[in-house]
Amino acid sequence: MASKQLKEFTFEEVAKHNKEGDLWIIVDSRVYDLSKFVNLHPGGAAVLLVETIAGRDATDAFFGLHRQEVLYRPQYARLQIGTIKGQEPLIKPLATDALSQVPYAEPSWLTPGFSSPYFKESHHRFQKAMRKFVNEVVLPDAIRCEDNGKRISQEVVNKLGEMNIIGMRLGPGKHLKGKTLLGGVITPEEFDHFHELIINAEIGRCGTRGYIDGILAGNVIGLPPILNFGSPELQAKIVPDVLAGKKFICLAISEAFAGSDVSGMQTYAYKDGNEWVISGTKKWITNGVFADYFTVGCKTDDGYTVILVPRSDELSTKPIKTAYSAAAGTAFVTLDKVRVPLSNTLGKEGKGMSVILSNFNHERWMILTISLSTHRLIVEECLKWSQQRRAFGKPLNSQAVIRAKLAQMIARVESAQSWLENVTHQMNNMSYTEQSDKLAGTIAFLKQYVTSTGRATAEDAAQLFGGRSVTQSGMGKLVENFHRTSPYDAILGGAEDALRKMPKNARL
């Protein structure tokens, strides 16, 4: 916002400044002097000099073409010279910890007057602090990096470490013992999968899919095998640095030869004395470009074995050009006779498949909670846009066909949210092993539901935003990002599971 002294004007006074060289307009009771800016205006000078805009209240025209954030960018905020006498701006930036007032923009547990059997006072406290943190610390970096393709900035990583968000993203567990969580908003004893869900949901609201993976998704999937299957010495060496944001890890399972069918892996490890010698390639490895450690799935003489491999001259990475931002650090990894000690083995030799599979539930749950949150953000975008965009003399949302689309979008996010909350509750009440046994199918189905309904909303949203849904800046930027990247959520984290555990004696 402009900090200079603002004057008050009447509509009549503003109306006198309606020509080239002397051009004022009103947007939401704020008066702007565009006399010099007019020739720099990205939308051109001509549109500002017409009779219906120059010297007039251009609020509707403005919000039909710009996101409100344009008004808050410093270079444009300083064009404001005053306000309209006796009026207050209606449209203001929300406080960084505020909830959206748009119906269905927040899940019901965050909607005033609604209650929830799952979310307690500590979740509300945590959500408020997390939203503030994401809006103030993460979002500006997310917008910048999504655009320029650079990895998450180290200052943000350091703050994620300080707040212990890197650790909390792995879920509840011994790694949080004695830690101060989010500046002390909750205790490690209070922390459960609903707090973790909140972290994912708040991150999902950035709407910048490449950066969202770049915000250390590699740690979330690469570190649990160390925590659950690594030796105490290995854990002591690796875990503290990763949790503090000093080092990065990633999960390197997929290969050009093997994705859904992990058993097709060709990366081969053999023993030479007290070392593993590993050769092969890995593909689509999130954060691999900047990772220091790689949790690598290998074929070994007696099955599959997962081995921790530090970056070295024998392990090289190169970025893979994907349709989402290079901020994700997606890599092709080449291992050329890499030598690591046998003590870097995670779990039992030859039993790597169970290490890999045990990781999948949590990974899929993380992907879908983020995806659903971005999906909800897109619904909010559509609700706002269909209200502010006028066509054929009416807002878009006055058309029955548009209202039907909006209703379907809302039903999709609400149904998925209810299912997600139920699953998360089960996770809170099951051990890690029980989760693998009982929830694998359900989480796979939920992921399938969230991603397929997300695709349906992405299509509807793109239609609703028209041409704006293909531009990476301006009104439709979030819809464009979701439409381009939401198919990823169906792919990463593996193929969708088949129905398991049908009783053998079940008959019609």
Q: What's the one-letter identity of residue 347?
A: G
32 binds ligand HEM (CB under 6 A): yes
Cβ neighbour number for residue 484 with a 10 Å cutoff: 18
What does 171 interact with, of ligand HEM, ligand FAD, none (CB < 5 to 8 A by kind)?
none
In the list 31, 38, 54, 79, the residue contacting ligand HEM (rule: CB under 6 A) is 79
Per the CB < 8 A criterion, the answer to whether 55 and 21 are in contact is no
Structure token digits, residue 378: 């897109």
In the list 5, 12, 40, 42, the residue contacting ligand HEM (rule: CB under 6 A) is 42
Q: How far is CA 161 from CA 180, 219, 239, 334, in A?
A: 11, 12, 12, 29
Q: What angle do CA 20, 33, 22 make, to 5 degrees?
A: 25
49 binds ligand HEM (CB under 6 A): no
In the list 1, 22, 39, 43, the residue contacting ligand HEM (rule: CB under 6 A) is 43
Number of residues that bind ligand FAD (CB under 6 A): 18
259 binds ligand FAD (CB under 6 A): yes
What distance in Å separates the CA atoms of residue 461 and residue 453, rounded to the nearest whole number? 12
Structure token digits, residue 403: 């209202």
Q: How far is the CB of 176 from ligand FAD (least distance, A)?
A: 23
What distance in Å separates the CA atoms of residue 138 and residue 141, rounded to the nearest whole number? 5
What distance in Å separates the CA atoms of residue 265 and residue 254, rounded to the nearest whole number? 7
In the list 2, 6, 70, 430, the residue contacting ligand HEM (rule: CB under 6 A) is 70
359 binds ligand FAD (CB under 6 A): no
488 binds ligand FAD (CB under 6 A): yes
Per the CB < 8 A criterion, the answer to whether 337 and 309 are in contact is no
Counting every residue written for the chain, the total comes to: 508
340 binds ligand HEM (CB under 6 A): no
In the list 47, 236, 342, 495, the residue contacting ligand FAD (rule: CB under 6 A) is 495
Q: How far is the CB of 43 from ligand HEM (least distance, A)?
A: 2
Point out the residue whose Cβ comes nearest to ligand HEM.
43
Q: How far is CA 67 from CA 49, 61, 70, 345, 431, in A?
A: 21, 12, 6, 52, 46
Between residues 28 and 146, which has the closer beta carbon with respect to ligand FAD?
A: 146
Nearest alpha carbon to residue 346 among 253, 430, 255, 265: 253
**Per-residue string for binding with ligand FAD, 330-349, x by CB under 6 A?**
x-------------------
Between residues 102 and 491, which has the closer beta carbon with respect to ligand FAD?
A: 491
Q: How far is the CB of 37 from ligand HEM (least distance, A)?
A: 7
208 binds ligand FAD (CB under 6 A): no
416 binds ligand FAD (CB under 6 A): no
In the list 23, 26, 54, 61, the residue contacting ligand HEM (rule: CB under 6 A) is 61
In the list 260, 263, 471, 472, the residue contacting ligand FAD (rule: CB under 6 A) is 260
What distance in Å separates the CA atoms of residue 324 and residue 213, rounded to the nearest whole number? 10
What distance in Å separates the CA atoms of residue 40 and residue 127, rounded to the nearest whole number? 41
Q: How far is CA 330 from CA 257, 287, 327, in A?
A: 17, 6, 8
What does 191 interact with, of ligand FAD, ligand HEM, none (CB < 5 to 8 A by kind)?
none
In the list 125, 474, 487, 497, the residue contacting ligand HEM (rule: CB under 6 A) is 474
Quickly list DSSP for 440-475.
HHHHHHHHHHHHHHHHHHHHHHHHHHGGGGG-SSST
What does 148 interact with, of ligand HEM, ligand FAD, none (CB < 5 to 8 A by kind)?
none
Residues 219-258 that bind ligand FAD (CB under 6 A): 250-254
357 binds ligand FAD (CB under 6 A): no
What does 42 interact with, of ligand FAD, ligand HEM, none (CB < 5 to 8 A by kind)?
ligand HEM
What does 126 interact with, of ligand HEM, ligand FAD, none (CB < 5 to 8 A by kind)?
none
Can you list the alpha helix ranges (DSSP code H) found in 310-431? 352-388, 400-428
Nearest alpha carbon to residue 207 among 139, 107, 153, 305: 139
In the list 10, 22, 39, 47, the residue contacting ligand HEM (rule: CB under 6 A) is 47
What distance in Å separates the CA atoms of residue 229 and residue 226, rounded to the nearest whole number? 5
466 binds ligand HEM (CB under 6 A): no
DSSP assigned state of 97: T
304 binds ligand FAD (CB under 6 A): no
What does 259 interact with, of ligand FAD, ligand HEM, none (CB < 5 to 8 A by kind)?
ligand FAD
What are the residues whose beta carbons fall under 8 Å from the beta carbon of 455, sequence distance 6 or more? 486, 487, 490
Q: What are phi and psi of 121, to 5 degrees?
A: -55, -40
What does the binding site for ligand HEM look like in residue numbers (CB under 6 A)?
Answer: 25, 27, 32, 34, 41-43, 47-48, 53, 58, 61-62, 65-67, 70, 76, 79, 473-474
What does the binding site for ligand FAD look like in residue numbers (CB under 6 A)?
Answer: 250-254, 259-261, 284-286, 322, 330, 488, 491-492, 494-495
